[in-house]
């Protein structure tokens, strides 16, 4: 998030797109509702009539994958009606004219057609966003999990800058990060192209910096493989040794049949986890890990706030904290870290990671700090791009609407989109083991509109077969008016009826994010 969670209540307008906030980030959802009670306007765009839609001034039930069409149409309205922030664009951005040209070539009506919504509603939404003093955009995987997700994000940035909403309090561009420490994992180099602090592995200075810091030689300057490519590498035999710390790709990754094949092909798999997950069952060595309540450390939340994780109870049996295990293995491999505590690691992180330079456990004892926090006396950063963009001038990028990688055809005639439910988290490794949560939602289902169900002659709760070009599963249907006709939705928490046997591994060319939010499926009566 460019801005902070605490700023949400005071915003004048919220544009919520591609995030079912009240279920996936429930506490942020409550702050959004509070903002509305405080008088803020709310625009919601989502193929499903999510809870926030009930509170919205304008709700746009868009087709999956049509975000860019919507955003461009809205920008068309804002430019045509002269509602954009000219001074801001003049002083803080570049490349506006380019984008303007692309936008004006794309009519609102065309956008409305692609999105499957009323053009007038798009106009209303655009005006609400543009006319507010401070307006924030909030999005999640509905934007990024697209085969051209990078473009969807750029489009969001265009809109934010167009109205001068980036770099101000209670505004901003705010991706809501899905997992507790996905922000921190990215920050600390769990990506194939960057060292901690987004320092590029291809940059010779960075290579030298880390060689010195770590007291090693010969660091690789070649960008590594992303998960989908790692899986491909498993199948091709290029990748032999897979080490997994606390992940469950056997449920979470797209096109599971493909993943399964890769797993059967790896030479050696090590998995560290707290339970014997679907993935751990495939491993050669499984190492018992401590859970969050059994170890020290930090998580970085979606607003870039580094907060403490503290040990409350002992880990069961001989389970160890993940960092202890890795530290032990490094020692076995002849590398001595001299890490005796998580705090020791944070000290090294602060040394090599500019954004975390000012972080110490002492400073975040009571309240976490938000990065960038480069020095020990820096107060942290509440919102980004104040006065100036991190890169200097904000760059508009003309983005054209592109169809999803897989579109419906006469055979696979329905669009499947996936997501989470309130009561479960990710692959359910934890939540499905909590009785109450599992009782609330104990099995998978497909949401389907009454009209679509009627067309297929299906009754509520009927068991059906749903298949895509990649796989087939059986699951019960749930008829609801909340979903758009000819679109179906499935949660992905359930290994026994895994939505990801159906999803498409079509990747965004830049980020390799799979297109979880759109694939073509068919439903058959059993």
> Taking Cα atoms as reference points, which of 160, 130, 156 lies closest to residue 70?
156
Kindly identify the residues of this chain, within the stretch 183-222, that bind other proteins according to CB under 8 A: 183-193, 195-196, 201, 210, 214, 216, 218-220, 222
Distance (Å, rounded) from C-alpha 231 to C-alpha 477?
A: 31
C-alpha–C-alpha distance, residues 474 and 330, integer Å:
44
The helix/strand/coil state of 229 is helix
Closest CB to other proteins among residues 157, 201: 201
CB 308 within 8 Å of CB 363 = no
Q: Which residues of 471-492 are buried (b: 16+ CB within 10 A; e: fewer)?
A: bebebebbbbebbbebbbbbbb
Residue 235 interacts with other proteins (CB under 8 A): yes or no: no
Q: Distance between CA 504 and CA 256 in Å, rounded?
A: 10
**Quick one: which of 12, 247, 278, 447 contacts other proteins (CB under 8 A)?**
247
Stretch that binds other proteins, among 65-73, 103-111, 472-480, 510-518 (CB under 8 A): 510-518
Nearer to other proteins, 169 or 485 (CB): 169
> How many of the other CB atoms lie within 10 Å of CB of 209?
15
Q: Are 407 and 105 in contact (CB under 8 A)?
A: no
Give which of 305, 254, 3 is closest to 139, Cα–Cα. Answer: 3
The torsion angles phi and psi of 138, rounded to 5 degrees, stand at -125, 125
- Smallest separation, CB 10 to other proteins (Å): 14
* Identity of the residue, 119 or 422, whose beta carbon is nearer to other proteins in the bound complex: 422
Question: 42: which strand partners?
Answer: 14
With binding defined as CB under 8 A, does residue 26 bind other proteins?
yes
State which residue, 149 or 167, has the beta carbon closest to other proteins. Answer: 149
Reduced to 3 states (helix: H, G, I; strand: E, B; else coil), residue 169 is: coil
* Binders of other proteins in range 105-134 (CB under 8 A): none
Provide the minimum distance between the beta carbon of 309 and other proteins in the complex, in angstroms, as a whole number. 5
Q: Which is nearer to other proteins, 89 or 507 (CB)?
A: 507
Site for other proteins in 426-465 (CB under 8 A): 426, 430-431, 433-437, 439-440
Neighbours of 241 (CB within 10 A): 10
Asked if 327 is part of the footprint of other proteins (rule: CB under 8 A), the reply reads yes
Can you tell me which of 146, 181, 444, 504 binds other proteins, judged by CB under 8 A? Answer: 181
Contact 428, 494 (CB under 8 A): yes
The residue within the footprint of other proteins, chosen from 94, 104, 208, 330 (CB under 8 A), is 330
Using the minimum distance from each CB to other proteins, give the nearer residue, 146 or 158.
146
**Please, which residue, 91 or 442, has the CB nearer to other proteins?**
442
Please select the residue that binds other proteins; options are 30, 102, 265, 360, rule is CB under 8 A.
30
Q: Closer to other proteins at the Cβ: 61 or 252? A: 252
Rounded CA separation 112/95 (Å):
26
Cβ distance to other proteins smaller for residue 231 or 453:
231
Q: Residue 197: what are its φ and ψ, rounded to 5°?
A: 80, 25
User: β-strands 41-45, 13-17: how paired?
Assistant: parallel
Smallest separation, CB 306 to other proteins (Å): 7
Residue closer to other proteins by CB (options 204, 313) is 313
Helix axes 149-162 and 67-80, enclosed angle (nearest 10)? 20
Nearest CA to 159 out of 105, 79, 81, 250 is that of 79
* CB 273, min distance to other proteins, A: 7
Residue 255 binding other proteins, by CB under 8 A: no
Q: How far is the CB of 121 from other proteins (least distance, A)?
A: 24
Q: Which stretch binds other proteins (CB under 8 A): 98-106, 160-168, 304-312, 458-466?
A: 304-312
Residue of 157, 326, 446, 487 that binds other proteins (CB under 8 A): 326
Q: Does 292 bind other proteins (CB under 8 A)?
A: yes
User: Which residues in 464-503 contact other proteins (CB under 8 A)?
Assistant: none
**Nearer to other proteins (CB atom), residue 96 or residue 425:** 425
Helix (H) or strand (E) holding 143: helix 141-144
Query: How far apart are CB 98 and other proteins at their closest, in Å?
Result: 29
Binding-site string for other proteins from residue 397 to residue 426, where x marks contact by CB under 8 A and - marks none: -------------------------xxxxx
Task: Tell me which of 20, 301, 381, 417 binds other proteins, using CB under 8 A.
Answer: 301
Residue 278 in contact with other proteins, rule: CB under 8 A: no
Q: Does 38 bind other proteins (CB under 8 A)?
A: no
How would you class 496 by CB atoms within 10 Å of its CB: exposed for 0-12, middle for 13-18, buried for 19 or more?
A: exposed
Contacts with other proteins in 130-169 (CB under 8 A)? 144-145
Distances in whole angstroms, Cα of residue 358 to Cα of each of 102, 182, 204, 312, 355: 43, 21, 25, 26, 8
Q: Which stretch binds other proteins (CB under 8 A): 10-18, 116-124, 177-185, 381-389?
A: 177-185
Centroid of chain to Cα 384? 19
User: Could you give the angle at the alpha carbon of 95 between the alpha carbons of 42 and 43, nearest 5°?
Assistant: 5
# residues near other proteins by CB under 8 A: 146
Give the residues across from 477 on adjacent strands: 446
Min dist. Cβ of residue 288 to other proteins (A): 4
Q: How many residues does the chain have?
A: 526
* Cα–Cα dist 168/385, whole Å: 8
From the list 21-29, 106-114, 374-382, 394-402, the region that binds other proteins by CB under 8 A is: 21-29
Residue closer to other proteins (CB basis): 412 or 425: 425
The three-point CA angle 356-362-366 to 5° equals 100
CB neighbours (10 Å) of residue 364? 18
């Amino acid at each position: 998030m460019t801005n902070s969670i605490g700023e949400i209540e005071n915003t004048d307008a919220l544009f919520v797109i591609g995030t079912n906030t009240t279920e996936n980030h429930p506490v942020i959802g409550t702050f959004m509702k509070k903002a509305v009670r405080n008088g803020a306007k709310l625009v919601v765009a989502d193929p499903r009539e999510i809870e926030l839609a009930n509170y919205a001034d304008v709700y746009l039930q868009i087709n999956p994958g049509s975000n860019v069409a919507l955003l461009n149409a809205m920008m068309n309205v804002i430019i045509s009606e002269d509602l954009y922030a000219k001074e801001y664009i003049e002083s803080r951005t570049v490349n506006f004219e380019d984008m303007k040209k692309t936008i004006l070539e794309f009519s609102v009506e065309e956008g409305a057609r692609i999105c499957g919504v009323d053009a007038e509603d798009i106009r209303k939404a655009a005006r609400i966003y543009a006319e507010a003093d401070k307006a924030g955009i909030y999005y999640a995987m509905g934007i990024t999990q697209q085969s051209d997700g990078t473009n969807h994000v750029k489009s969001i940035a265009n809109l934010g800058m167009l109205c001068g909403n980036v770099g101000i309090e209670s505004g901003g561009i705010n991706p809501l990060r899905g997992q507790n420490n996905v922000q921190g994992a990215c920050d600390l180099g769990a990506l194939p192209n960057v060292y901690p602090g987004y320092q590029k592995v291809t940059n010779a200075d960075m290579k030298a910096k880390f060689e010195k810091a770590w007291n090693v030689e010969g660091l690789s300057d070649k960008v590594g493989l992303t998960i989908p490519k790692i899986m491909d590498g498993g199948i091709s035999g290029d990748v032999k040794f897979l080490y997994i710390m606390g992940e469950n790709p056997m449920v979470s990754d797209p096109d599971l049949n493909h993943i399964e094949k890769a797993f059967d092909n790896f030479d050696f798999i090590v998995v560290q986890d707290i339970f014997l997950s679907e993935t751990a069952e495939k491993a050669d060595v499984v190492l018992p890990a401590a859970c969050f309540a059994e170890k020290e450390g930090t998580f970085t939340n979606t607003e870039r706030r580094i907060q403490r994780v503290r040990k409350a109870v002992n880990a069961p049996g001989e389970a160890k904290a993940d960092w202890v295990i890795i530290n032990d293995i490094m020692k076995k491999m002849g590398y001595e870290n001299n890490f005796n505590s998580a705090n020791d690691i944070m000290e090294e992180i602060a040394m090599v990671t500019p954004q975390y330079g000012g972080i110490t456990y002492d400073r975040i004892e009571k309240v976490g700090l938000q990065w960038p926090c480069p020095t020990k006396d820096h107060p942290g950063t509440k919102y980004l791009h104040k006065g100036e963009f991190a890169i200097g001038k904000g760059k508009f990028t003309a983005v054209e609407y592109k169809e999803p990688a897989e579109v419906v055809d006469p055979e696979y005639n329905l669009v499947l989109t996936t997501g989470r439910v309130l009561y479960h988290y990710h692959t359910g490794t934890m939540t499905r083991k909590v009785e109450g949560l599992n009782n609330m939602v104990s099995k998978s289902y497909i949401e389907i509109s009454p009209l679509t169900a009627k067309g297929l002659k299906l009754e509520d709760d009927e068991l059906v077969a749903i298949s895509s070009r990649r796989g087939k599963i059986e699951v019960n249907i749930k008829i609801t008016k909340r979903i758009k006709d000819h679109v179906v939705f499935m949660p992905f928490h359930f290994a026994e009826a895994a939505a990801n046997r159906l999803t498409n591994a079509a990747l965004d060319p830049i980020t390799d994010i799979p297109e979880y939010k759109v694939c073509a499926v068919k439903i058959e009566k059993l």
